[in-house]
Amino acid sequence: MGEKIKIAVSPPIQVGGSLFTAEQLAAIGTLAGPGSKIEMTSFKQMYVEVDTDRVEDVKNNLQKIGLEIYSAGFSVKSLIACNFCRGAEEAGLEMAHILNKAVAGIETPIPIKVGYAGCALGTSEPMLKDIGVVKMKETFDVYVGGEPKSLKASVGKLLLSGIAQEQLVQSVTNIISFYKENAKGKEKFSKFVDRVTLEVLKQIAA
């Protein structure tokens, strides 16, 4: 057997949630090949094992059927979004696409989850993500430091409130860049937030 590598596969962000078609799922299995392992992760991505000498061909074929391909390594994961139950326009589907394109795949000390909710119901659980974005009518709130694991699980802290759509991407990318440059080794993002303080992060995100 040849060497294998994992790639992260996800459907596009869309109304209705993380939806794969039957044809897409069948294609993933066929392209991965016999004996390959496929893992559904908490990032709403499938980690698919493929032979290293076929990885580019597999990526191209999956993209042709509407799937998105990301690194399975330490990086910002693709946006974990809600189902946009209020509709694409009101819930900010276009903004979610823009944000995902800006941050997904950025290399980081550990995997980073960014959550997006199109309203205050927060069905994508943005308060439990490293960075959570919540659309509040025409503006956005940004939370940081959510921690869903262990007995010390905690919700994110409000960092920015009422920021404009035009400012959102820059604010989130500023936070991620600051974390990359100042994290101590593989420091968890929630611990990083506590160490550097919200006051400092507010200045960085502004």
**Domain residue ranges in the chain:** 4-71, 80-205
pLDDT confidence tier of residue 1, bands split at 50, 70 and 90: low
Domains 4-71 and 80-205 share a fold: no
The pLDDT tens digits for 4-29 are 999 999 999 999 999 999 999 999 99
CA 10 – CA 69 distance, rounded (Å):
7
| Residue 16 φ/ψ region, left for φ over 0, alpha for ψ in the -120 to 50 degree band, beta for the rest | left
The pLDDT tens digits for 46-87 are 999 999 999 999 999 999 999 999 999 999 999 999 999 999
Residue type, 70: Y
* Residues near 25 by beta carbon (within 8 Å), at least 6 away in sequence: none
- pTM value is 0.93
Could you please state the CATH topology (level 3) that the domain comprising 4-71 is classified under: Alpha-Beta Plaits (3.30.70)
Tell me which architecture the domain covering 80-205 has in CATH.
2-Layer Sandwich (3.30)
The pLDDT tens digits for 134-182 are 999 999 999 999 999 888 899 999 999 999 999 999 999 999 999 999 9
